[in-house]
Amino acid sequence: MQLQSQSALSCAGGKLQVVPTSIPDVKLLVPKRFEDERGFFAETYNMRAMSEINLPALFVQDNRSFSRRRGTVRGLHFQMPPRAQHKLLWVIRGAIFDVAVDLRKGSPWFGEHVSTVLSAKEGRQIFVPAGFAHGFCTLVPNTEVYYKVSETYAPECEVGIFWNDPDLGIDWPATEDRAIVSPRDLALPRLNDIVDILPFGFVS
Kindly report, residue by residue over 30-59, the tens digit of the pLDDT.
988 888 899 989 888 989 999 998 898 899
Q: Rounded mean pLDDT of the chain?
A: 91
Query: What is the distance between the alpha carbons of residues 30 and 9, in angstroms, rounded to a whole number?
Result: 10
Neighbours of 62 (CB within 10 A): 11
**Is 203 a member of any domain?**
no
Residue 169 has pLDDT above 70, yes or no: yes
- Domain of residue 112, CATH code: 2.60.120.10
pLDDT tens digits along 115-167: 999 999 999 999 999 999 999 999 999 999 999 999 999 999 999 999 999 99
User: Which residues fall within 8 angstroms of residue 63, CB to CB, at 6 or more apart?
Assistant: 146, 147, 148, 149
Residue 202 lies in a domain: no
* Residue 144 domain-assigned (yes or no): yes
Closest CA to 98 of 73, 78, 80: 73
Which residue among the candidates 77, 86, 113, 134 is catalytic per the annotation? 77
User: Which of the four pLDDT bands, split at 50, 70 and 90, describes residue 15?
Assistant: low
Residue 1 lies in a domain: no
Give the percent of the chain with pLDDT over 90.
Answer: 79
Q: Which domain holds residue 15?
A: 9-197
From the CA atom positions of the chain, what is the Rg in Å? 16
Distances in whole angstroms, Cα of residue 94 to Cα of each of 73, 137, 139, 156: 14, 11, 7, 32
For residue 168, tell me if it sits in a domain.
yes
Out of 86, 113, 134, 147, the active site residue is: 147
Give yes or no: 45 in active site: no
In this prediction, residues 87-92 reach a mean pLDDT of 97
Residue 109: inside a domain: yes
Query: Pseudo-torsion of CA 107, 59, 143, 75, nearest 10°?
Result: -40
* Whether residue 153 lies in the annotated active site: no
The total domain count for the chain is 1
**204 belongs to a structural domain:** no
